[in-house]
Amino acid sequence: MTSRPSGKFIVSVLLLQQTLGAMAFPISKFGLGMIEPFTFAFYRFLISSVCLLAIVWVRKKGIPIEKKDWWKIIGLGIMIIPFNQTLFLYGQSLTAAGHGSLLFATVPIWIVLAAMIHLKEKLIWRRAIGIVVALGGVGVIMFSGATSFGRDYLWGDFIILLAVIAWAYYTIWGKPLVQKYGAFRVTAYSLASGSLLYFPFGLYMALKFDYSQVTFGAWGAVFYMAIGTSVAAYVLWYWVLKFMEASRAAVFHNLQPIIASLVALVWLGEPLGWTFVIGGSVALLGVIVAEV
């Protein structure tokens, strides 16, 4: 687009991006049941990097990237591949499916803090209150009994929390580069550089893995995480950040557990109950408070 899109269109794109991200939790958990996390990550990063680089090559658009910014893009690659997605997949394999969704609901807090420090965004109290209210609604959903807590999940939860913080910094450090070079190129080059660093270890894990029990459904999960998340959701996220403050966009992360629960209702037939209705309503209220 050559001009700034309307606010409604930006929010619509952000809702689509959050839906794609929310579906990653149940889908990745399904795939990780048959493919160990480091092998899963290897194929995901390989497929997504090839697709993104191919899109960039076909488009052939944009100003040349300055040498100093290449190092920043490589830094984003380190942040998103080893520290965000590899840790997320490994942590998700060690904890309950709902825990990742709950921990990622804390993303707005980390992004708001990082945006204040690095982007000098001002703390808007209405937005802060909206984040707290929305996070409270998420807590109602997740602590209602559907999610169990204990020492068995502690290590996996801690690893996912590190992945959450890495995502916050990937967002904050990438925003100026996206505004300068565009979402496609920054996403493509950062994911490709991070994947290149991961490639030797990932290839080793992929070569030693036993594929005899892997189903087509598990490979489908790999392709969704590669195309639906690493390509579509990541590019859309950076695209939104071209037009919206990081702290404002972050509020919408609180919708992911709600969307994930609705997906589980349709796909898996899991009942929602009154707790979901109440918690979901509170979370939506928080988003509305932050947006009005």
- pLDDT 10s digits, 201-256: 999 999 999 999 999 999 999 999 999 999 999 999 999 988 888 877 877 877 77
For the chain, give every domain's residue range.
7-291
Instruction: Label residue 12 by pLDDT band (50, 70, 90).
Output: very high
Total-model pTM: 0.78
Instruction: Label residue 190 by pLDDT band (50, 70, 90).
Output: very high
Q: Say what the pLDDT of residue 202 is.
A: 93
- pLDDT 10s digits, 132-166: 777 777 666 656 554 555 555 677 778 888 898 89
- pLDDT 10s digits, 79-98: 999 898 888 888 877 776 55
CA atoms within 13 A on the CB side of 40: 29
